[in-house]
Structure 1
Amino acid sequence: MKPTLTAKLLQTLGPWRNAPAWHIAFSGGLDSSVLLHLLASLAKTETLPTLSAVHIHHGLQVAADAWPSHCQAVCDSLSVPLRIMRVQVQSGASLERAARDARYWAFNEVTGAGDVMLTGQHRDDQAETLLFRLLRGAGVRGLAAMPVYRPLVAGHLVRPLLDIARAELETYAHEHQLKWIEDPSNADPRFSRNYLRHRVFPALQERWPQVVASLARTADHLCEAQGLLDELAEMDLQAADRPAPFPWLCLSSLALAPLRELSDARQRNALRHWLTPLTRLPDSDHWAGWLSLRDAKGDAQPQWRLADGALHRCGERIWWLPATWSEFSDASVSWPHPQNPLELPGNGQLKFIGKVPEGPLVVRYRQGGEIVEVPGRGRRDLKRLLNESGLPGVVRGRLPLLYQGEQLLGVPSLPGLWRGPSGDWQLHWMPQTCDQGLS
C-alpha cells in the first residue's frame, strides 16, 4: 500500500520531533500552503513541536504587497501564529541569488537554538536545481542539489517534501480546497529556473516522461557520492589539522606538508571540505591560486584571495583570514587603568597578569625598527624576533605593543617577549575570535 502524504511527512520529520519549535516558511504559494495545512492538521492528532509560520516579504513586485494579508488569513484559519518579515534584497548581478540571501538572513533571525525551519521545495524543484547547476558546470557538491537538511546559525533548515512530486501536492490542495498565491514572476522566462520549468522540462517530459523522477534520483546518488568525498576529506585533514603554535590566535589553519603528500585531486577535495564553512568556494579556474600558494618558496608568504577572505601561507602552515580581519584601528590607545583589560578597537583585548608596571602606558602598532629588551638576551630587533617566533606575517601588523613613553616594554603572548625586566608581569593579547571576524 502506497504511504500517504501525511505518513511520508511524519517519517521525514522524525529526527526533529523533539525540536523546541517548528517554523514554516510560508510564501502563500502551493508548496508552502500544502506544508502548512499538513502540519496544522497533524498537530491535532500528533504531539509536535510548537508550530508557527513566517512570511518573508521581499518587496520586489507590487503584487506581493497583497500577499501578507492572504497569508495572515490562512494562518488565522488554521490557528497558526504568523510573523511577517520585510527584507532588503541587495542589488547585484543575480536577483535570484540576492533574494535567496535575504531569505536565509530572515531564516537565521527567526530560528532559535535547536529550532527547525521547514521549507516546501519538492521533487520537481530538485530536478530543476540539478539541471540548472549542471548547465553552470557545477561539481559533485553542487550537483547533489538540495539536501533534505542543512544547518542554520542556531538551528536547522529541513525540506520535508523533497521526495514528493508537485502533482501530488496539487492533488492534496484540490482535495482540501486550499487557496494559494500564484506568483506572476514565476512565469517570467528571463529567470533561469522559469525558463527550465516552462520551456525545457515540457520538451524533456514529452520524450522522457520520468525525467523529473530520474533527475531527482541522480541528485540522491550524487549526494551519496559527496558524502563519501566528505569522509575522505576528513581522513585527509586529520594529519594536516595539527595544533597551531599560537593557540591564543583564533584563526583556522592547517599544516601544509601532509596536504602536499596527497594527489592534486585529494588536495582540492580536502580544501573544499575545510573551506566550505568559511567562504564561498572558488570555481575550477580559480584553483590555480592554490597551486601558486602551495608551491611558492618558503619565505614568500603568498596569499590566495577568495570570496570571503584569503588563505595565507607562513612557512609550512596555511592560515584562513576572514575578509573583516583587517578592519581595525591602528591608532595609539592610552591605557589609563592597566589593572583592567584594555579593549582594542576591532582588535580584541589586552590584559596584564601579575604586577602592573608603573607610569603612563600606551599601546601602539608596528612602524618598523622597534627594539625590545629581552630578559637574558639584551636589546633585540623586534622584526628578527618575530621571524624567529614564526608568527604569521599577516598578524604582525595588528600585534599590540606596550610602550612607556618611547620605551617598548613588551610584546604580548609570545614566549620570551611578554615578561617585565624582573619577570613579575606578563602581557596577554586575546584577538577577536573567528566568529567576530565572520559575517
Structure 2
Amino acid sequence: MRSTLPAFNEVWQRQFRSSVLNQIQCFPAESTFLIGCSGGMDSMLLLHLMSYLSPEKIRVIYIDHQLQSISADWGQFVSEQCAVLHVPCIVEAVDVQQGNLEHQARNARYQAYAKHLKPNEILVLAHHQQDQAETLMLRLLSGAGVHGLAAMKQVDVREQFTIWRPLLDISREQICQWAIQLGVQNIEDPTNLDTHYDRAWCRHELWPVLQNRYPQMQQALSRTSYLMQDAEDILLEVLQQDLALCGSVTEIDLKKLFQLSNARQRQLLSAWMKGQDTYRPSFEMVERLLHEVIGSKSDAQAALHWNQYYYVRYQQKLFRLSAAEYLAEKSQSNSFEQTICVALGQKVEMLSGDYLAETAKMGLSAALLGKELNLVMRQGGEKIHLYGRVGAWPLKKAIQEAQIFPWQRYRIQILSIDNVMLGVFTPKGFWLAQSEYCEVGGWQPKLIS
C-alpha cells in the first residue's frame, strides 16, 4: 500500500484512508474489488484513490449504455486512464430496454455487473452524500415507505453480490476538492444537466431552492437515510417472523395473515410481492391485492397481475404464480385426444407430470399393456366411480375434494378403452376407476415428477 497520495492534502488523505480502511475490515481478507466507473468525476476519483490504497486488488468496469454517440469514446477514455494506473479494465456494451430510461439503464448496468463479478469480488460504486440525499428526496416524492427511504447502504449485501460505497459519507464539495488536488481527469455527461431526467432536475432545480433555506439539508437527509436503515432492519426481523408464520415464497395462509394487524398485513404482502426483485410494489398495488383478490368472494376467480406474476386466491390461501403457469390453461385445447401404449417400467409423459407403469396390489389388467388406450381432456360433467368408493360421483367433486388448484385442472386427462373409463391422470397422481379391467396384482401409472 502506498503511503502518500501526490499533491493530496494531508488532512483529507488521513480522513479518507482511515474511513476506507475501517470499512475494508468488514470484508474477508481474500476479497477483491470491481470498480464501476462511468468516467465522471466521482468514479474517476474513486479509481485513483483505490489504485493507491489497494492497487493489486482492483479491476474496473465501464458500462456503455449505447444511449449517446460518444459513449464508446468515454469507454476508451476510462480504459486509457486505467492503463496509466496499471489497473485491468472491462468495457461492456449493454442494450437498454424500452420503458423508464433511468430505471431500465440501471437494470442493464447491474446485470452487466453481475455477469463480470468473480467469487469474493466486491462491487465498488462512487455514490456520495449528495447522491444519497437526492435518492431519499426522489423516493419521498414517489411515495416510498421505510424500505425506499433507507436509500443506499454503504455496504449492501445482496443475494447475487455485495456493493460497497466508500464515498457515501463524503460531500460532493470534498470530492471536487480532492479531484482538483490530484489532477484527476474526467468526462462530462451532458445528460447530467438535462432536467428532463428526475435526478438532474432534483440536483439543478430543486436542490438549490431547498439548500438556500436549509444549509445543512444534505447532512440531515443523509442522517435520515441511516435512521430509516435502522427502521428497515427492525421491520425485516418482524417480516421474517410473519412470513415464517403465514406461508412461503409461493403462498400465504390467509387465516394466519388475518391474525396480524392491518399494518403488518400490508408490510408482509408488500415484501412478499417484491420477492427477489429490486423494488416493492406501490401502496396502491398492495391495496388492490387486499381488496380485489383477498377480499373477493370465495367463489370468485379474481387475479391480480403485477411484475410478471399473477396473484390468485383459492379457498383460504393466496398464491403467487408465474405468468406461464397461470396462462397455460388458456393456451391448452380441451379437445385434445391421443392414444398411448403402456409397458411395465415405461415412463409416460402426461400434462400433469411424468408417470411410471408399475405393478400394484390392485390395478389395471395386464391384458391392457401394449394396447392402444384413449386419452382425452376433461370436458366437465364427467362422473367417476373411484376404486374402493361406493357409487359414481362427479369428477368435479373429486377434484375439489383433492384440492387441485383451478389453474392446474387443465392438466387432467382421462384414460379409457372402448368408452370404459380406466382412470384419471391428475397433478396429484393417477386415480384408478372401478371397471371390469381392475384386477389384483395389476398395474398402475405412478407419478414420479
Q: TM-score range by the shorter chain?
A: 0.7 to 0.9
Unaligned 5+ segments in structure 1 are: 243-250, 431-439
Residue in 2 aligned with 1:313?
A: 313
Aligned length: 414
In the alignment, which of 61, 81, 94 is matched to residue 88 of structure 2? 81
Q: What's the counterpart of residue 302 of structure 2? A: 302
State the TM-score, normalizing by the size of structure 2.
0.80
Alpha carbons 2:342, 2:370 under 8 Å: kept: no
1:179 aligns with 2:185: yes
1:369 to 1:157, Cα distance in 2 relative to 1, 3 A: farther
Contact residue 144 and residue 220 of structure 1 kept, 8 A: yes
Matched residue, 2:20: 9
Aligned AA for 2:446?
A: L
Amino acid at match of 1:225: A
- Conservation of the 8 A alpha-carbon contact between 1:412 and 1:427: no
Instruction: Decide which structure has the larger Cα Rg and report it.
Output: 2
Aligned-pair CA distance for 1:148: 3.0
Instruction: Tell me if the contact between 2:430 and 2:446 (Cα under 8 Å) persists in the aligned partners.
Output: no
> Is contact 1:411–1:418 with CA below 8 Å preserved after alignment?
no
Corresponding position: 1:330 with 2:332: yes
Cα distance, 1:363–1:52 mapped onto 2, change above 3 Å: farther
Is it true that 1:263 corresponds to 2:261 in the alignment?
Answer: yes
Asked whether 1:123 is paired with 2:124, we answer: no
Per the alignment, do residues 348 and 189 of structure 1 end up closer, same or farther by CA in structure 2, a change over 3 Å counting? farther
Give % identity: 29
Structure 1 residue 341 displacement after superposition: 5.5
Deviations 1:157-185 (A, max 9, x none): 33332222222222332232221111111
Q: Which amino acid in 1 is paired with 2:386?
A: V
Matches within 5 A, 1:345-424: 350-352=354-356, 354-355=358-359, 358-359=370-371, 366-370=378-382, 374-377=386-389, 380-397=393-410, 399=411, 401=413, 403=415, 409-414=423-428, 417=431, 424=443
Shift of residue 385, structure 1, vs aligned partner: 1.5
Give the deviation of 1:288 after TM superposition. Answer: 3.4
Q: CA deviation at 1:371?
A: 5.2
After superposing the two structures, state which structure 1 stretch, 100-109 or 290-299, moved more: 290-299
Contact 2:150–2:229 under 8 Å retained in 1: yes
Kindly report which structure 2 residues correspond to 1:82-231, keeping only aligned pairs within 5 A, or say none. Answer: 82-92=89-99, 94-150=100-156, 154-231=160-237
In the TM superposition, residue 235 of structure 1 has moved relative to its aligned partner by 2.3
* Letter aligned with residue 354 of structure 2: L
* Stretch of structure 1 that moved more, 56-65 or 326-335: 326-335
User: Per-residue deviation at 1:65?
Assistant: 2.5
Go from structure 1 to structure 2 and tell me whether the alpha carbon gap of 1:219 and 1:372 turns closer, same or farther (over 3 Å shift): same
CA distance in 1 between counterparts of 2:442 and 2:27 reads 55
Higher mean displacement: 11-20 or 224-233: 11-20
Relative to 1, partners in 2 of residues 1:323 and 1:110: Cα closer, same or farther, differing over 3 Å?
farther
State the alpha-carbon separation in 1 of the partners of residues 432 and 37 from structure 2: 57
For 1:233 and 1:385, locate their aligned partners in 2 and report how far apart those are by CA, in whole Å: 37
Given candidates 243, 248, 256, the residue that maps to 1:237 is 243
Return closer, same or farther for 1:404/1:162 CA change in 2, 3 Å cut-off.
farther
Q: 2:237, 2:160 → 1: CA distance? A: 24
2:15 maps to a residue whose letter is T
Question: Of the candidates 25, 28, 34, which is equivalent to residue 23 of structure 1?
Answer: 34
**How far is the alpha carbon of 1:226 from its aligned partner?**
1.8
Distance 1:190 1:138, change over 3 A: same
User: Which residue type is aligned with residue 88 of structure 1?
Assistant: D
Distance 1:417 1:20, change over 3 A: farther
Look up the equivalent residue of 1:11 and give its one-letter code: N
Deviations 1:24-78 (Å, cap 9, x if unpaired)? 211111222122222222224xxx7x53222111111122131111111112222
Q: Does 1:427 align with 2:446?
A: yes
Q: Is there any run of 5+ residues in structure 2 with no aligned partner, and where?
A: 1-10, 360-365
